[in-house]
Amino acid sequence: MFDKAALKASLEASVEAYTRLSIPSEHRKHLGASLAGRDCTRYLWNTYRWLLLEQHEGRMRRLFNRGHREEQVFIDLLRGAGWNVWDINPTTGSQYRIAHMSGHIGGSLDAIVQPPGVNWHAIGEFKTHNNKSFNDLRNNGLLATKPEHFIQMSIYGRSYETDKGLYCAVNKDTDAIEWIPVDLDFGAAEDAMRRMEYVIGLREPPKKISETPTFWKCKYCHFNGICHSGEAPEKNCRSCRHAAPAAAGEWHCELHGQLIPDGVIPLGCDHWKRLV
C-alpha cells in the first residue's frame, strides 16, 4: 500500500532534521557590524553576551541560506557587466573582514567592487528581499527602509577607506534587481562603532527600548521573556557574571583567574552565575 500521508510526514520530518543539522544556529563570537544599526541597545548586549540563541525552524534557515547563495549570483552578474569584484582576500583565502576591540567587534564584507574605467572602489552589499520589502526599498530608498544595512556598509567603508557603496537587492518573488549606488557616512559609522564599544564594556544590561512587552519591537523579539518576564538566559560563560571580554577576542573568568578555553565557553561551569 502506498501510504502517501505517512510518506509525506516522514519526509518532512527528515528534511527538517537535515536542515537543522546542515544549517546550524550558532552564536557569533563577535558583535557583528550587521547589527550595529539596530536601535535597541539591549538587543545588542543580549546578543553579545549569548543570553539566548534563537532556534529557527528549517524553513527560516533555508531562507537565510538563500541569501548566502544569492551572493554568487550578484558577483557573476557584476563581473559579466565588466566590473571588478573582489570577494576573497588573497592573504587569508576567505572574505574580507573587519575586526575591532581585539576582535570583539567584527564583520565580513560581501565584496569590494569597482566599475570599469575608474580608479576608485566601493563596498558591495548583496541582499535578498520579499516583494513588499523590495518595493518599499525601490520607492523610498535605502536609508529610509534599511538603515541597518546602510550603517553596516558605512562601517565597512570606513575600514576600507571608501565612502562609496553599491547596494544590490534582489526580489525573491520576481527576480527583479535594484542596483543602488550610495554615499557612505563615516560619521554614522563612528557613532555606531562607539555604541558597540560601549555595549562590549557593559557588565550590567542597558536600558530596554521599551518597558512594555507588547511594544511592537519587543513583542516578537526572541529576548522578550528575558527582558520582560525574568526568564533565565542560557547557561554559558558569556552569560555569566564572572566572565569579561579579554584581548584577542578571548574571554577571562574572574572567578578562576584565567582565560576561558573556547570549548568551555558554550558550556559554562558549576559556578555559573546568571547576568540577568
| C-alpha closest to that of 232 among 179, 187, 272 | 272
**DSSP 8-state secondary structure symbol assigned to residue 154:** H
The pLDDT assigned to 1 comes to 73
Mean confidence (pLDDT) of the chain = 96
Percent of the chain exceeding pLDDT 90 equals: 96
Count of residues for the chain?
A: 276
Cell 557584476 locates to: 78
Q: What is the pTM of this model?
A: 0.93
The gap between the terminal CA atoms of the chain, to the nearest Å, is: 56
Burial class (CB in 10 A: 0-12, 13-18, 19+), 69: exposed
Task: Please give the sequence-ordered ranges of beta strands (E in DSSP) within 101-202, or none if there are none.
Answer: 105-108, 111-114, 122-129, 164-171, 177-183
For residues 157 and 128, the answer to whether their CB atoms sit within 8 Å is no
The pLDDT assigned to 177 comes to 98
Q: Per-residue confidence at 63, pLDDT binned at 50, 70, 90? A: confident
Q: Per-residue confidence at 21, pLDDT binned at 50, 70, 90? A: very high
Quick one: how far is CA 213 from the chain centroid? 24
- B/e letters for 9-28, b = 16+ CB within 10 Å, e = fewer, are eeeeeeeeeebeeebeeebe
Instruction: Identify residue 219 by its one-letter amino acid code.
Output: K
For residues 88 and 112, the answer to whether their CB atoms sit within 8 Å is no
- CATH class of the 4-210 domain in this structure: alpha beta
For residues 255 and 262, the answer to whether their CB atoms sit within 8 Å is no
C-alpha cell at 202: 557593559
For 144-172, how does the pLDDT look when each residue is reduced to its tens digit (9 = 90+)? 999 999 999 999 999 999 999 999 999 99
